[in-house]
């Protein structure tokens, strides 16, 4: 299997689609650093283009599971038996091929203002969707203003309070206005 080693062309994506892609990348890096040796993690995604169908990026064994969870380049996930995972070993990079510099470059990417802005925009889009659902559920008019307690919580529309990576504070605002971040550049279209 040959993968296109270039970056995906995102020029035809909407801003919301770009934000969604950036958010997925951020979550992936945080996930990587939470894994333990017991998870038997394997990485095979260097140079693989996002969206390459049937190309495994990584797999690991969730705690207490007999199967492996395989994540593919199109960001689909499949649980597979150890026998099904065995042929994927040919794609694995040896530990000496993954350098600390490569990991640091990935983390540096996360610190770029555009990545941080994209993550915040994804949070604002979540707030907007949650406000819409709250309005429908509560038969609320355009001048109604939900509180964070109405929207965020274990049994609410958003389970955990989103965080702006640049330290901004969120305001939900009235239903007829978009939610906002105190960082001036973070504005929904």
pLDDT for residue 6: 39
Task: Give the pTM.
Answer: 0.46
- Averaged pLDDT score across all residues of the chain: 76
- Secondary structure (3-state) at 170: strand
Tokens of residue 71, six digits = 């994540």
What pLDDT, in 10s, does the model give residues 138-164? Answer: 999 999 999 999 999 889 999 888 888
pLDDT for residue 172: 96
The alpha carbon dihedral of 153, 157, 163, 164 has a sign of negative
Query: Is the separation of the CB atoms in 159 and 168 below 8 Å?
Result: no
- For 28, residues 6+ apart whose C-beta sits below 8 A from its C-beta are none
27 or 90, greater pLDDT:
90
Mean pLDDT calculated for residue range 171-182: 95
Query: Is the separation of the CB atoms in 157 and 166 below 8 Å?
Result: no
With 80 as the cut, is the pLDDT of residue 109 above it? no
pLDDT for residue 28: 52
Listed by start position, the domains of the chain span: 15-111, 113-181
What pLDDT, in 10s, does the model give residues 122-141? Answer: 889 999 999 999 999 999 99
What pLDDT, in 10s, does the model give residues 37-83? Answer: 667 777 777 666 666 777 787 788 888 888 988 887 777 778 889 89
């Amino acid at each position: 299997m040959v993968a296109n080693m270039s970056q995906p062309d995102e020029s035809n994506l909407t801003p919301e689609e770009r934000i969604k892609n950036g958010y997925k990348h951020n979550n992936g890096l945080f996930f990587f650093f939470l894994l333990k040796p017991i998870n038997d993690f394997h990485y095979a995604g260097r140079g693989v283009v996002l969206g390459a169908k049937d190309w495994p990026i990584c797999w690991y064994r969730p705690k207490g599971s007999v199967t492996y969870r395989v994540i593919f380049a199109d960001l689909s996930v499949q649980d597979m038996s150890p026998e099904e995972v065995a042929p994927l070993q040919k794609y694995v990079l040896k530990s000496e091929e993954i350098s600390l510099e490569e990991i640091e470059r990935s983390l540096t990417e996360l610190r770029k203002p555009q990545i941080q802005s994209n993550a915040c925009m994804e949070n604002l889009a979540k707030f907007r969707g949650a406000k819409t659902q709250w309005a429908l559920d509560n038969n609320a008019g355009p001048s109604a203003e939900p509180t964070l307690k109405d929207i965020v919580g274990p049994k609410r529309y958003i389970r955990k309070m989103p965080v702006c990576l640049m330290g901004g504070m969120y305001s939900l605002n009235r239903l007829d206005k978009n939610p906002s971040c105190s960082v001036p550049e973070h504005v929904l279209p």
